[in-house]
Amino acid sequence: MPKTMTTIEIDYSRYGYAKRINVPLFKRERSIEPGDRVKVIGDDGPERIAIVAALVDAGRKAILEFDELPAA
């Protein structure tokens, strides 16, 4: 059975248009693995898809990379 895509809500004021972001993960989100695609939503910003580039801090944070920048 394919994995359900995890949705991660970020605070865009902390990242702006960054293509690569470092996000603390809730425990329930820690099933993601490097290479997974995740849906990223945030405070009135556009919904985007990112790839999990790496897990850091013993899996408590994820580095996410977006394919595309949001529209300005």
Partner 1 sequence: MPGAVETVVNAAVRNYGEYRSVTTDGLGLFTVSVFAIDDSRSENDILAALPQRSFARITVGAVTRAGYGLLPTSTDDPDLPPAVAAIQQVHFDIVLPSLDDTRLVALDPLDDEDLEYAARDHLVIAVERLLALFGPREQK
- Residues engaged in binding partner 1 (CB under 8 A): 9-28, 42-46, 60, 70-72
Kindly state the smallest distance separating residue 58's Cβ from partner 1, in Å.
11
Question: Among residues 5 and 59, whose Cβ is nearest to partner 1?
Answer: 59
* Strand residues in 1-72 grouped as ranges (E): 7-10, 20-24, 37-42, 48-56, 61-66
Alpha helices in the chain (DSSP H): 12-15
Question: Among residues 1 and 28, whose Cβ is nearest to partner 1?
Answer: 28
Q: Which two tokens stand for residue 12?
A: 């865009």
Question: Among residues 10 and 52, whose Cβ is nearest to partner 1?
Answer: 10
